[in-house]
C-alpha cells in the first residue's frame, strides 16, 4: 500500500501514477482537475461528523454539528452513551443518526472497532470493520478513510457526484452505479482515493461549464 495522503508530494505521486496508466485520467488532470488534500480530524469526532452530515445540506449539517459540539464539548463516545435521546434530538439529530452514533460509541468503548489500526489496513479490510457498526454504510466508511485517514485507496463508489463525473469523463450513456464503477476503478488501484479526488474536481469543472453563459 502506498503512503497515506498526508502531503502534496504523496498526492502528486498518485496523480502521476494515474496519468501514466489511464489516458482519461491524464486528460482530466491536464484539464485542471487537480485536487487538494482536504483532510479532516480522525477518530470519533471525524467519523461522528461524517455521520451527522449524511443526507442533509451542508448548511444543515454545520448547524447540527455546531449544536452537538456545544452540547458535548469533549465529543467522546461516553458522552453519547450517557446522553438521553431527548438531549440528542435537541441538537437536530434524527432517530437513525442517534442509533448510529450510539452504536459507534459502543463499538469504540468495547474495542470491536479498532479505529487506531485502520490506517495500517488495506482499504477493503478497513471498510469491513467500519461497516460492521450498525448504521455505517460503505459511503460513510470510505469518506472517513479518505478524508480523515488519508487512505490512498479508499473509493466511495456510491457517491453520486463520482458516478456523474465518471459518466461525463468516460462518455458513458448512464451513471456507472455500484459494481460498474467499482470495476472501472480496479485499474486505479492502489490510488483509487486519488482518482476519486480527481473525479470530484472534474465534476466541479464540468458543472461550472454547463452553467456558463452560452453553454450547450
**Complete domains list, the chain, with CATH:** 8-38+154-209 (1.10.1670.40), 43-148 (1.10.340.30)
Is there a contact between 137 and 159 (Cβ–Cβ < 8 Å)? no
CB 167 within 8 A of CB 175: yes
Residue written as grid cell 452513551: 81
User: Does the predicted TM-score (pTM) go above 0.85?
Assistant: yes
**Structure confidence at residue 73 as a pLDDT band (50, 70, 90):** very high
Q: What angle do CA 210, 212, 216 make, to 5 degrees?
A: 50
pLDDT surpassing 80 at residue 194: yes
| Residue 214 confidence class, pLDDT cut points 50, 70, 90 | low
How far is residue 137 CA from its own chain's centroid? 11
At 131-159, the pLDDT tens digits run 999 999 999 999 999 999 999 999 999 99
> Which burial class, exposed, middle or buried, applies to 117 when counting CB atoms under 10 A from its CB (0-12, 13-18, 19+)?
exposed
178 conformational bin, left if phi > 0, alpha if psi -120 to 50, beta if neither? left
Amino acid at each position: 500500500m502506498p503512503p497515506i495522503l498526508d502531503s502534496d508530494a504523496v498526492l502528486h505521486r498518485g496523480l502521476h501514477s494515474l496519468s501514466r496508466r489511464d489516458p482519461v485520467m491524464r486528460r482530466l488532470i491536464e484539464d485542471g482537475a487537480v485536487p487538494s488534500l482536504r483532510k479532516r480530524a480522525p477518530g470519533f469526532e471525524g467519523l461522528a461528523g461524517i455521520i451527522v452530515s449524511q443526507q442533509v445540506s451542508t448548511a444543515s449539517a454545520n448547524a447540527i454539528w455546531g449544536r452537538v459540539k456545544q452540547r458535548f464539548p469533549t465529543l467522546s463516545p461516553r458522552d453519547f452513551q450517557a446522553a438521553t435521546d431527548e438531549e440528542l434530538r435537541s441538537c437536530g439529530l434524527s432517530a437513525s443518526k442517534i442509533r448510529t452514533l450510539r452504536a459507534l460509541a459502543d463499538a469504540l468503548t468495547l474495542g470491536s472497532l479498532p479505529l487506531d489500526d485502520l490506517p495500517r489496513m488495506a482499504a477493503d479490510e478497513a471498510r469491513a470493520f467500519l461497516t460492521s457498526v450498525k448504521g455505517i454504510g460503505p459511503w460513510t466508511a470510505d469518506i472517513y478513510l479518505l478524508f480523515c485517514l488519508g487512505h490512498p485507496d479508499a473509493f466511495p463508489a456510491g457517491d453520486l457526484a463520482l458516478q456523474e463525473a465518471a459518466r461525463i469523463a468516460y462518455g458513458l450513456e448512464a451513471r456507472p452505479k455500484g459494481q460498474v464503477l467499482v470495476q472501472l476503478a480496479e485499474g486505479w488501484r492502489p490510488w483509487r482515493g486519488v482518482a476519486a479526488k480527481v473525479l470530484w474536481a472534474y465534476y466541479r469543472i464540468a458543472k461550472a461549464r454547463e452553467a456558463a453563459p452560452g453553454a450547450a
